[in-house]
Structure 1
Amino acid sequence: MTIVVTAQALLFDMDGTLVDSSAAVERTWRRFCARHGLDPAVVLAGAHGQRTAETVAEHAPPGTDVAAETAWLVAQDIADTRGTVALPGAAELLGQLPGDRWALVTSAGRELAERRMAAAGLPLPEVVVTADDVRRGKPDPEGYLRAAARLGVDPRATVVFEDAELGLRAGRAAGGWTVVVGPHGGDAAVGRPRITDYRDVACVGTGDALRLTLPVRLPAPVPA
């Protein structure tokens, strides 16, 4: 099924949406869990889409210096980009977009975002909103609202690409038209269009708007 959408700008999450960094992310969190005697399955289940400091605060043993542990984790992430690759078709799609018509909105910090995008061979847009730029992380819509404002567009006229529950909730709360990237099946994905990757996704400029063609899978039905 192919659908055509008109938008003023496209807003992308990074990890799992443009970049497959799952191997590096898992290695880092497993190191963290080994340091503190935690179950990696439990920590990894909630870490995706959440800022590192929030995950540390949620799972670290009482008395842990959250700021110091967060800094250690970020340093681990920055140093380890092995296996980080772009999702199929992502580079081609981004190459079609005017630089002032798309933004990156990620729960990673700025340095890590730069490292992972470079490792995946993807360009950075003019507008990048990271964990360093917001007071409240996803699912709060602050990041997406800030990106739309910096692009000078109405957030309700944006398409938001996300792969995780927290990010999808953030995009919807900001007013964006959300597209699920990958297999996530949480509540925020119900009824939303879904793409596996960016192969066969096309975008062309039409005056002050973008015309986006998406080869989507049918959205999941809304539960009765």
Structure 2
Amino acid sequence: MGLVVTARALLFDMDGTLIDSTAAVERTWRRFAARHGLDAAAILAGAHGQRTAETVAAHAPPGTDVAAETAWLVAQDVADTEGTVALPGAADLLAGLPRDRWALVTSAGRELAERRMAAAGLPLPDVVVTADDVRRGKPDPEGYRTAARRLGVDPRASIVFEDAELGLIAGRAAGGYTVVVGPHGGSAAQDRPRITDYRGLTCTDTGDALRLTLPALTGAAV
């Protein structure tokens, strides 16, 4: 028997949560590192879940035009979606959700979100909150609170699916019930339900709420 949880809305991160864009992301940051003589591994260690501009600001040499470098990186990302795929079961889950009951909350910009979701064969919901829509990126809860508001629900009545430390912190700070997707083992993932992907996850619309059954191998005590 799996873990049964209910919510008014489901809020999903994108990279690493609904799609696997690892190869493309790594190629882009390695280009950036080579461009400035930086350690690509050090950049990649902290980039996940963070807005591009914030990662650039943290690693670029003094005097770098952060806005220009961010624009260059985004253009690289938009042009390179090779190898971007949906996590197993994600397409089936999203296809069965009412469009007004789920949202995408990503640290990517709008154009990149559209490109990666399309490359993975996944639909966009009516509510998409990107890096372009918030003043403060994850771990600030602004993105998840904004998505819940646009869906007309209390963020405390949402389930947040995230794969990274910054996103899990943001989801919990917004009041959502966080579910870890994948192997992340940071402190924000401790004692949280965990799924490897969406195979075996079922969702039923009861009218008042969404009733989810997470697979029996959910990896945490609740």
Q: TM-score range by the shorter chain?
A: over 0.9
**Residue 182 (structure 1) aligns with:** 182
Q: Distance in 2 between matches of 1:70 and 1:109?
A: 11
Secondary structure at the counterpart of residue 203 of structure 1: strand
Deviation at residue 218 of structure 1 after TM alignment: 2.7
**Residue 152 (structure 1) aligns with:** 152
**Residue 56 (structure 1) aligns with:** 56
| Contact 2:195-2:219 within 8 A present in 1 as well | no
Deviation at residue 220 of structure 1 after TM alignment: 6.6
Instruction: Spell out structure 1 runs of 4+ moving beyond 6 A.
Output: none
CA RMSD, 1 decimal: 1.0
Q: Deviations over 1:61-105 (max 9, x none)?
A: 000000000000000000000000000000000011000000000
Q: Deviations over 1:27-55 (max 9, x none)?
A: 00000000001001100000000000000
**Residue 121 (structure 1) aligns with:** 121
Deviation at residue 217 of structure 1 after TM alignment: 2.4
Identity of aligned residues (%): 83
**Residue 217 (structure 1) aligns with:** 218
**Residue 8 (structure 2) aligns with:** 8
Q: Deviations over 1:185-211 (max 9, x none)?
A: 000000000000000111110012101
Aligned: 1:21 with 2:24? no
| Contact 2:3-2:218 within 8 A present in 1 as well | no
Unaligned runs of 5+ residues in structure 1 are none
**Residue 198 (structure 1) aligns with:** 198
Letter in 2 for 1:218: G
Report the TM-score when normalising by structure 1: 0.97
Aligned: 1:31 with 2:31? yes
**Residue 77 (structure 2) aligns with:** 77
Report the TM-score when normalising by structure 2: 0.98
| Contact 2:17-2:163 within 8 A present in 1 as well | yes
Q: Number of aligned pairs?
A: 221
Letter in 2 for 1:19: I
